[in-house]
Amino acid sequence: MAFHRSSVGAGRSLWRSLKKDYILYLLLLIPVIHTFIFKYVPMAGIIIAFKDFNPMEGIFASPWAGVKWFEKFLTEPKFWQVFRNTILLSLYNLIWSTPMPILFALLLNEMNGRRVKKAIQTVSYLPYFVSTVVMVGILTQLLSPTSGIVNHVLGLFGIDPIMFMGESSWFRTIYIGSGIWQGTGYSAILYFAALTNIDQELYEAAYIDGAGRAARMRYISIPGILPTIMVMLLLNIGNIMQVSFEKVILLQKPITVDVSEVINSYVYKRGLLNMDYSYGTAMGLLQSLIGFILVTSANAVSKRLTETALW
């Protein structure tokens, strides 16, 4: 009887909340419907990975192939090359890109000039809104061996022009460096927000006790944003297999394919350009499965060690 009354009370409370804030719930429907249509409905296409898909017959009428395409991808000689390139590019990106917005937010938080701080924040956001095509075009101009400003500066020190865009040894550096330039300011927004939630009395007490900027940053700022750092790290680990497809394709040259060919670009070439849809879907599904395993494992480790987790 008590359970029935509590459930009725909860139902009435929910109805009152819906009635009072119905406009907010209507607004919430828009992203929910968008997510359902563009994220969940297309998941039905996963079945292509287990079929000999023929566009003329359709998805459901095409004959079953079992795990044929997965076996083909895993036993293909190029598998280890694209898998290795994907892992290395993602790991280097994780190692170098993850600390940059944290460091940027911490240093900017220590600045006293409010107007200067706001100006630096605004300028740091701008590269994020530059399209990948434009960004690669800027890189091409800056690193040109004939007219690029970088090679002109190197020439002043007697260094011969370097073919940055045409040498395999420079591809990962360019990819990661451009990502840091483009995403540091925007990624730091979350850390700025986390820093503003730290009780300012802690800083005042530390200042009175004689703690310098470095000490306040170490013992107050970093512990205060540690949960945010862990959540973002987990999300980045989950995306470790998702190398930026557009940037790879735009930066890739025939001479740099040995280090630049990743799973996403290989899926594009095999699945779309060669119209091998089943093979491409199988590669994409395997990539997503690896990412799911990574983020689940990292979440479990983080939950045990730091008590911070995504779920």
Q: What is the mean pLDDT for each group of 10 consecutive residues in the chain (311 residues)?
A: 51 73 84 90 87 86 89 87 90 90 90 84 89 91 90 90 90 92 90 88 86 87 89 83 84 90 88 87 87 84 76 74
Please report the pLDDT score of residue 2 as a whole number. Answer: 47
Question: Which residues pair with residue 54 across a beta bridge?
Answer: 58
Residue spans of beta strands (DSSP E) within 88-245: none
Residue 204, pLDDT score: 86
Phi, psi of 98 (to 5 degrees): -65, -45
Residue 72 tokens, joined: 């083909």
Report residue 209 as tokens: 């006790």
How far is CA 52 from each of CA 43, 48, 67, 69, 158, rounded to the nearest angstrom?
18, 7, 11, 9, 59
Please state, in angstroms and as integers, the Cα–Cα distance from residue 259 to each residue in 83, 140, 247, following that order: 11, 18, 14
- Predicted pLDDT of residue 60: 83
Helix 2-20 and helix 22-35, axial crossing angle in degrees, nearest 10: 90
Is 270 in contact with 79 (CB distance < 8 Å)? no
- Widest distance between CA atoms in the chain: 88
Give the pLDDT of residue 178. Answer: 92
CA separation for the pair 52, 281 (Å, rounded): 11
Q: How many CA atoms lie within 13 A of 292 on its CB side?
A: 6
pLDDT attached to residue 230 = 86
3-state helix, strand, coil split of the chain in percent (to 5) is 80, 0, 20
Cα–Cα distance measured from residue 13 to residue 11, given in angstroms and rounded to the nearest whole number = 5
Q: What is the pLDDT of residue 85?
A: 92
Locate 37 and state its tokens: 């249509």
Contact criterion met (CB below 8 Å) for 128 and 139: no
